[in-house]
Amino acid sequence: MRSFLLSTILLLAGASAAVAQDLYNGDAAAAYHWVRANAGPGECGCFGMNGGGLSGSWNFHGPWSLVADISAEHNGSAPPAGNSLTLVSYLAGARYKIPQPWLEGNHKPQPFAQILIGAAHAGGGVAGVADGSYEFATRIGGGIDVPVNSHFAVRVIQIDYYLTTFANAVNDHQNNLLVGAGIVYHWSRKK
């Protein structure tokens, strides 16, 4: 896990240094997350989890950005027996800002699509045999940011398919849904 985090940090730092020649920009976001978790296979066994996340992106070419994201969600009384579950993910990947030539103005919505991969950590009674383990995780989805001014935007919606692969004695596969909203700070700097 440490080597994955170190590799991610070095990748993002290298990309930032490479684009720093003329101008580099990106954003930092803080978001509320609600996750519809699917703990077990077969019958849904679904429950909701609340939490949040922090993410940062660095633009490296036109509409493309590198993204790093850390998030945590928790439920204190998840089924089947009212056990707790805390899910923490460490993800990195790419984001594509979808061009909108039909809209103009400083406050036009900015849709994006992203794919993030990395690891997730499960803890609590619902985690069962996966308690305390790190496993593969990915989120694929997108959202819409609405600018408030030149530096701030509101992430009005984010929806991601959220796959985790914790041991569950059947197929080690959980299909989750993440819905979020938050605040985004845009930054840019010339060399």
Whether the predicted pLDDT of 76 surpasses 70: yes
pLDDT of residue 79: 72
User: Tens digit of pLDDT for each residue in 102-159?
Assistant: 777 777 899 999 999 999 998 887 666 667 789 999 999 999 999 999 899 999 999 9
CATH number at residue 102: 2.40.160.20
pLDDT score of 18: 47
Give dist(CA 130, CA 150) in Å, integer: 44
128 phi and psi, to 5 degrees?
55, -125
Residues 6+ apart with CB under 8 A from 26: 56, 57, 58, 59, 65, 186, 187, 188
E strand map for the chain:
23-38, 46-61, 64-78, 83-97, 110-123, 134-147, 152-164, 174-190
25 close to 162: Cβ distance less than 8 angstroms = no
Q: What range does the domain containing 42 cover?
A: 2-190
**Tokens describing residue 17:** 């240094």
pLDDT for the residue numbered 178: 96
Q: Please tell me the predicted confidence (pLDDT) of residue 37.
A: 86
The two tokens of residue 96 are 């594509």
Query: In the prediction, which pLDDT does 52 show?
Result: 97
Tell me how many domains the chain contains.
1
Range of weakest confidence among 4-13, 33-42, 59-68, 118-127: 4-13
**157 phi/psi in degrees, rounded to 5:** -160, 140
